[in-house]
Amino acid sequence: MAGSPDARSAGAAPLIVLGGPTATGKTGLSVALAERLLDQGIPAEIISADSRQVYRGLDIGTAKATPGERGRVIHHGLDLVEPDERYSIAQFRAHARGALAALGARGGIGILVGGTGFWLRAIAAGIDTDALPSDAEVRAGLEADLTRDGVAALAGRLRAIAPALAGRTDPRNPRRVVRALEIAMLQGDAPLPTPLGYPAPVLGLQLVVAQSEHRRRMELRARAQFAAGLVEEARVLRERFDPALPCFTAIGYRESWAFLDGACPLEAAIALDAQHNAQFARRQRTWFRTERSLAILDATGDPLPAAVARLDAFVGTLG
């Protein structure tokens, strides 16, 4: 994910990429790094690369930055559309590039943070999402198949015809499975478009946590989210929107609805939330193992000192 050495001439802000699986502390660390830059008089803004945080109202369940954190550091990529609106990676790429161009014009540094690996790569590696094939008729047929057969059946088809592409696709996410199948049907199990590169210097960091500690954190976060009002958030959203919408594959909502409907007690819903996050984290780790350009930071303890050291060295190269 390395970029060219001349940030200002390219017009984009130098970029810090902070990735890693869920519940590794990315949000808190990104805010701390941004505040360090701001304390040095360097404009710094955060771009969320999370495909669920773009939806308004999905706050607790998607672990968005808190109002306090957003008040301290400008955030992009949050609350962009309603849950029943489509939002594509191409839209995100345009949104993020616009924010980074404006920040670069002011001599600032961007922090791209999230666990949606392809969204991180689309910006930091410069993947041309418009180069991916599409066909409205094929897409419509797959949408009809999804309605009739369900996401599990389509995920099985994807694994059968495009195992490499399936390995990069969340099988619980109907929108991504349909899109991956569309690509597979049009061009086969082909690699992603050749990266174009980011037009400014990039510092890539990946947070990792020892698995036993990671599971403990996911359990603590699930409990904290339910205590913070996740069930009520899920209830309000279900009253306003179709619960079958793709955005509600975000972990926490269906578990909350199961509790509300009497299908399981509260403790069982919390345990399911933690279990599903652990499964999701395993898929994320598989993705991030391919991102060799992201330097590993052990977040089992406190990653801030090591991150600050890398940040300061990065800023020193910018001149």
Q: How far is CA 195 from the centre of its chain?
A: 19
Q: Which value, in Å, is the radius of gyration of the alpha carbons in the chain?
A: 20
Helix-then-strand count for the chain, H and E: 14, 6
pLDDT in tens, 138-176: 888 898 888 889 999 999 999 999 998 898 888 988 888
Q: How confident is the model at residue 319 (pLDDT cuts 50, 70, 90)?
A: confident
Q: Is 21 found in the same domain as 125?
A: yes
**What residue type is assigned to position 161 of the chain?**
I
Q: Which residue has the higher pLDDT, 261 or 172?
A: 261
198 and 75 both lie in a single domain = yes
Q: List the CATH number of the domain containing 67.
A: 3.40.50.300
Q: Does residue 235 fall inside a structural domain?
A: yes
Q: The domain that contains 183 carries what CATH number?
A: 1.10.20.140
Tell me if 183 sits within 8 A of 165, measured CB to CB: yes
Task: Kindly tell me if the per-residue pLDDT of 10 is higher than 80.
Answer: no
Contact by Cβ (8 Å): 45, 70:
no
Give yes or no for a contact between 24 and 207, defined as CB atoms under 8 angstroms apart. yes
Which CATH number do you get for residue 275?
1.10.287.890
Phi and psi at 134, nearest 5°, equal -150, 150
Picking from 154, 171, 187, the residue at the C-terminal end of a domain is 187
Q: Is there a single domain that holds both residue 93 and residue 165?
A: no
238 belongs to a structural domain: yes
* Per-residue confidence band for 132, with pLDDT thresholds at 50, 70 and 90: confident
Q: What are phi and psi of 267, to 5 degrees?
A: -60, -35
Query: Is the per-residue pLDDT at 204 higher than 90?
Result: yes
Q: Domain for residue 114, yes or no?
A: yes
- Counting every residue, how long is the chain? 319
Give the range among 12-16, 93-97, 289-293 with minimum mean pLDDT: 289-293
Torsion angle in degrees (nearest 10) through CA of 181, 187, 188, 193: -90
Question: Do 85 and 206 have their domain in common?
Answer: yes
Q: 3-state class of 171 per DSSP?
A: coil
Q: Can you read off the two tokens belonging to residue 196? A: 């174009």
Please report which residue ranges of 246-291 form alpha helices under DSSP H: 253-260, 266-288
Whether residue 222 lies inside any domain: the answer is: no
**Are 114 and 22 members of one domain?**
yes
End-to-end Cα distance, the chain: 21
Inside any domain, residue 126: yes
Residue pair 48/65 in contact (Cβ under 8 Å)? The answer is yes
Kindly state the helix (H) or strand (E) to which residue 17 belongs, with its residue range: strand 15-19
The SS3 call for residue 111 is: strand
For residues 204 and 60, state if they share a domain.
yes
Rounded CA-CA distance 60/250 in Å is: 11
Separation in Å, CA 15 to CA 123, 145, 246: 10, 40, 30
Per-residue pLDDT at 193: 67
Considering the domain architecture, whether residues 117 and 140 belong to the same structural domain is answered as no
**Residue 216 included in any domain:** no
Q: Is the predicted pLDDT of residue 9 greater than 70, yes or no?
A: no
Co-location of 233 and 250 in the same domain: yes
3-state secondary structure 174-231: HHHHHHHHHHHHHHCCCCCCCCCCECCCEEEEEEECCHHHHHHHHHHHHHHHHHCCHH
* DSSP annotation of 261: T
Q: pLDDT tens, 91-100?
A: 999 999 999 9
Lowest mean pLDDT segment, chosen from 75-84, 195-204, 222-231: 195-204
Total domains in the fold of the chain: 3
Domain identity same for 64 and 200? yes
Considering the domain architecture, whether residues 171 and 299 belong to the same structural domain is answered as no
Q: Are both 201 and 259 inside the same structural domain?
A: no
Task: Tell me which residue range forms the domain holding 173.
Answer: 133-187
- Per the DSSP assignment, residues forming a β-bridge with 110 are 15, 45
Whether residues 144 and 11 share a domain: the answer is no
Does residue 153 or residue 131 have the better pLDDT? 153
